[in-house]
């Protein structure tokens, strides 16, 4: 694999087109609604990433993860994190241990000076993400609710939603013991 790690504004239109197709193929099998945000050349679903790590092989994009620095609030306490999202591995490469190569982002996280990486995943991905935790890269937390702003303001829906997702924490500049205890995380924006 060849990794390309860089700023969002370093991507060309052709990169966005290729990423949009990658996400439609990666997320589409989990439900047509999950592929919908990536119509055309849109390569992000909610909040737009600040950095991206894109893995390539001879067949094109093999994997992707994005990150965005933001403040979240855990039971009233503000915390700077690098939100990790838009995670995907090409279907023909699933189960081959490729996810451990996402460690390529650790130097970027350290350079950004954030104490933690933070993300959420569907409960269906618990076993997959827990395997990464065995090497000490991350910790998976359950029983935490996460409030996010909807991507669009709709007249027939509230402006936020609350998910009971698994919370993934990557200790970067501080130990995991410094992660605040709490049962509610306010993302104060759209999910990455």
Q: Are strands 116-121 and 77-89 parallel, antiparallel or unpaired?
A: parallel
Which residues touch 116 (CB under 8 Å, ≥6 apart)? 79, 81, 82, 169, 170, 171, 172, 173, 174, 179
3-class secondary-structure state, position 81: strand
Any idea what the CATH number is for the domain that residue 124 is in? 3.40.630.30
d(C-alpha 153, C-alpha 14), whole Å: 30
CB 30 within 8 A of CB 156: no
Percent of the chain with pLDDT over 90: 54
CB 52 within 8 A of CB 66: yes
Q: What is the pLDDT of residues 35-87, one digit of tens each?
A: 888 999 999 888 899 999 999 999 999 999 999 999 999 988 999 999 999 98
Q: How many domains does the chain have?
A: 1
Domain extent at residue 72: 2-186
pTM across the whole model: 0.88
Examine residue 145 and state whether it is found in any structural domain, yes or no.
Answer: yes
Half-sphere exposure at residue 5, Cβ-oriented, CA atoms within 13 angstroms: 14
Examine residue 144 and state whether it is found in any structural domain, yes or no.
Answer: yes
Examine residue 72 and state whether it is found in any structural domain, yes or no.
Answer: yes
Examine residue 191 and state whether it is found in any structural domain, yes or no.
Answer: no
């Amino acid at each position: 694999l060849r990794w390309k790690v860089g700023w969002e504004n370093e991507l060309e239109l052709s990169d966005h087109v290729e990423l949009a197709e990658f996400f439609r193929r990666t997320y589409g099998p989990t439900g047509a609604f999950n592929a919908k945000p990536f119509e055309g050349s849109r390569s992000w679903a909610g909040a737009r990433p600040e950095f991206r790590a894109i893995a390539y092989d001879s067949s094109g994009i093999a994997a992707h993860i994005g990150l965005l620095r933001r403040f979240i609030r855990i039971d009233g306490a503000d915390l700077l994190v690098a939100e990790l999202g838009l995670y995907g591995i090409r279907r023909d490469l699933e189960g081959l241990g490729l996810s451990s190569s996402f460690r390529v982002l650790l130097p970027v996280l350290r350079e950004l000076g954030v104490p933690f990486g933070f993300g959420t995943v569907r409960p269906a991905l618990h076993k997959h993400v827990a395997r990464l935790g065995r090497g000490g890269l991350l910790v998976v937390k359950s029983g935490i609710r996460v409030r996010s702003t909807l991507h669009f303001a709709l007249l027939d829906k509230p402006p936020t939603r609350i998910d009971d997702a698994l919370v993934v924490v990557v200790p970067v500049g501080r130990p995991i013991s410094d992660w605040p205890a709490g049962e509610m995380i306010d993302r104060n924006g759209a999910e990455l």
